[in-house]
Chains A and B, each alone.
Chain A
Amino acid sequence: MQTSSWVPLFPEQASTFAWQVDALYAYLIVISIAFTIPIVAAIFFFAIKYREKEKFATPEEMHGSIVLETVWSIIPFVISMTIFLGGAIVYYNQFRVPDDSMDVYVVGKQWMWKLQHGTGQREINELHVPVGRNVKLTMTTEDTLHDFSIPAFRTKADVVPGRYTYIWFNATKPGKYHLFCAEYCGLNHSGMGGYVYVMEQRDFDNWLSGTESGQTPVEAGKDLFENKLGCASCHAGGADQRGAKLEGIFNKDVKLVGGQSVVADEAYIRNSILNPSSQVVEGFQPIMPTFKGQVTEEQLVSLVAYIKSLSGVTGTTTSSAATPAAANTSTHSNTAGNANTPASSNK
């Protein structure tokens, strides 16, 4: 929802750090003007005052000035350092994900965004979020690079095949905001986008309950873990299980064969499923087969969500409205209609 002014100059501010980015922008504009006006004024003043009075004149020679050179080296340096610091602070706020975030998983593919909420609801090219809640997006792609960009929230991040990237935001204002793919991804790059709907908590709860949730990522992951992929045959069973223990490891240090250690984050879990022998936990043999090519990115996301849940990290919404209500013909039929489209049928 852009403002209706004829030519908008700023996108809407709709996240908690949007004002910080805008403040930095304003600071830079002020600095730019403060540099431009004296320089341009000097150029015009000199150009008029010292314009050629006689052809091929020889003006009085002047030598450089160390004092001036020092002054106009140090001042820009000091100012540029303030800009650096301002940028670093805002960046820190943009990328330090708060702990109590609600999880949404994003998989990009040419040319659509497939999203799934921690409570199981799936969406295509749309994202519904409640106002005033920290939302963390864990993102990857099935094919080429993409970039998940929400200008009104002043954040974006590339979505990279083979790894997870993250953004988070806390939306402050209900409304409908553009979602763009900002990294060129081929033919229909400019069509790969949609909207982010920010809703009051009550409306969001209604939306959730009016949308088929299916399995949550944790449930789907559990199903894969215990039945479809058979992970449980090694990674569950108690003291004498063959595979490494997964309970309680999330975000903890894990000692690896060879003495290194690594933090067991999403990327590590994902890598251990796809390239098990690359980071083997101390005390175990590299006997696990690779699951590369056998699991889709969306299944991986579910497995990661399940393994996180073994450490008590649910990351799901605290809303109580996660009850499946497929038969419920909701008032939000337009959005629900879209969200009901099973992602898998679009592959």
Chain B
Amino acid sequence: MELSAQSVLSEEHPGLPRPSIRARLRACVTGRSSIYVLAGLPLLAVLLLLAVIVYDSLVGNVGSGLGTALSLQYFDALLHDPLMASAMWNTLGFTAVAVVTALVFGASIAWLVEKTDLPGKRLVYVIVTVGVLVPTFFTAMGWVFFLHPRIGMFNRWMMDWFSLSEAPLSIANVFGMGWVEGLGLASMAFMMTSPIFRGLNPSLEEAAAVHGLGRWLTLRYVVLPLMWPGLLACAIYISVIAFAAFEVPAIIGLGNRIFTFATVVYVKVTPDTGVPNYGYVGAISVVLILCSGLLSWWYFRVIRLSHRYGVIQGRGYRPKLIPLGRKVWPCWIALALYFGISKLMPLLMMVWASLLPYFQPFSMEALSQVSLANFSGIDWTLVWHAARNTLLLVFWVPTLALIFGLAISWIVIRSGLWGRFLYDWIAFLPHAVPSLIFAVAAVLLGLFIIPQGVPFYGTVFILLFVMVLVRISLVTRVLNGALLQINRELEDAASVSGIGTVAMLYKVVLPLLVPAILNLWIWNALLSYRELTVAAFLVTQQNITLPVAIWGLWNGGQAGQSAAVSVIFIVMLVPLVAAYWVLRTNADFQPLPRA
């Protein structure tokens, strides 16, 4: 419309710049329409994948054409499947244990960092945030070596020392899996709860104290009620993640036949024998979407409630810190213990396992068997192939997600476009819907809808496609916030002085967003590097990635080689984490709460 107006006008009215054909072409590329398209494409893809899943659950197989009668038989089958009943209880138990574990550790560390005079806070902060990046499948494997009822190092020691006939502890149950998941999610709980502690205006506590409430009553009637919505929101957020978590149930649960929803979907998509029952898979997926959607909706309600307590966001005060005094030592020991069991122990277990022909507890005899045989036995062509695919994803996933995310966020925050809230809402869907659902939908899309011969299923593109989509939520949440920080008049000034939308974004908005973009790029690169969930569903021989190679060896019973590849995998992670560390310690502290 703008263009036609221009062309009509310039005939009759001299004065304004007269658009040439070249200028009109340029306007097409540099105008807003290209931004709308850039933002619209990934969002349409999100909707398409969800539509594929829902349709699949009603017809049994999206490949069977549009004429197929819809039916609820697959949902009915779910209801009568004993596997689903046990999976439901397992999932609920797993989620509950994970949330409690994550909150106990995460909130305690947050309290220490934000409300006490603990020395070395910055170090704690950086270590905990970097801790998010340690792959969960890696720690899960470490815990198996430590607490497995038969081979676990701890159990063997206990049985030897105390002459027990049975292993005292086991990781191979719902509680153990929840514990491992929770230790990993504690980092996120820390990042979400520290702003709550930081934002608590000490004058509110002081007011209670001055008016005669003791410490306990102040906590009971003032502090907890103020913090409650924030803590609850954090718990819900973490339960959304734990509910659909795949890595821990896959590493620990699959071998021991303890299924959660996520692993049920996996075994149904990749059955040992026969053809996958896609209708059944679709039906479970829809149930998962509904549960996660419900939790996300609850999360938003609670968040809105917590904003009502605007008082805790007050500014212009210095947080009053509780002096720890001599208690600083127990605090440090507790912190060291947390880091020890959640990060260091699994790492040591993996290194140890990678050096042995078969896993055994530490002893002089075991030491004599230490060798690099596992490393030399690795199928290097496969690992090299997987590494190449992984690095490809590490570069392209964050890059594309940022380009799309920038377009979406700019539309949502700035364009004034009718329906921009729809963009925002759809961009949030990949957070509310578990990523494995998108992976399953992409499998259906690749196998049954996209014509054979198009390089999609079984290529690295299908991985790229799904991984970019599932990253859009985080990217747009962070960029929305960053864009709001930029004074709108800076953009208006560019428009009025004749600079088109794309040039304005490129020359004005982008440079101002550089810190946020850099932060997001590295973060998403790291998350893509360790991504197992999506890859596990999509990988074939051709597009294998490193985490899937590790997992494949693990499932094939080659724990030693699996550990060896893991160690290489972690070593390769070091430069990326180092880059992130440097950025995090130099730039102003801006944690990214959503992984």
Do A and B interact? no
| Residues of A that sit less than 8 Å from B by CB | none
